[in-house]
């Protein structure tokens, strides 16, 4: 995630872009150069559920959630819930580098 964000700092630091991240990821991307990040709890401590609630309230326009599909996370239930909520509420969900790239490209063109 950090490498992805660092290549797109211009986008992630735009005034009209609001970033919400779980605690660990938020800390890492802040250190990578993102100026403003709203941080919720870390994923295992309920951060994925907090973002899911924001998706349900239509406060999130897209979710980028890189995950290793070959590994099981201790909070896999929360991750599945977040993905399901994105589907239910028709929120774009990028779970790999290429889909995240396409998502950012779309929002870059939309925000011009």
Active site residues: 48
Region class of 18: left (phi > 0), else alpha (psi between -120 and 50), else beta? beta
> Tokens 């990028």, residue?
94
> Tokens 């870390």, residue?
42
Residue 77's Cβ-side half-sphere holds a number of Cα atoms within 13 Å equal to 3
Supply 77's token pair. 């239930």
Q: Among residues 58, 9, 3, 7, which one has the least CA distance to residue 25? A: 3
């Amino acid at each position: 995630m950090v490498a992805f964000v660092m290549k797109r700092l211009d986008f992630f630091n735009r005034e009209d872009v609001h970033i919400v991240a779980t605690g660990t990821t938020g800390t890492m991307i802040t250190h990578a150069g993102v100026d403003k990040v709203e941080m919720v709890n870390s994923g295992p401590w309920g951060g994925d559920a907090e973002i899911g609630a924001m998706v349900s309230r239509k406060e999130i326009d897209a979710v980028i959630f890189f995950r290793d599909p070959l590994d099981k996370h201790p909070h896999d239930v929360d991750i599945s819930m977040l993905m399901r909520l994105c589907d239910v509420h028709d929120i774009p969900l990028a779970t790999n580098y290429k889909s995240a790239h396409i998502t950012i490209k779309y929002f870059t063109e939309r925000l011009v």
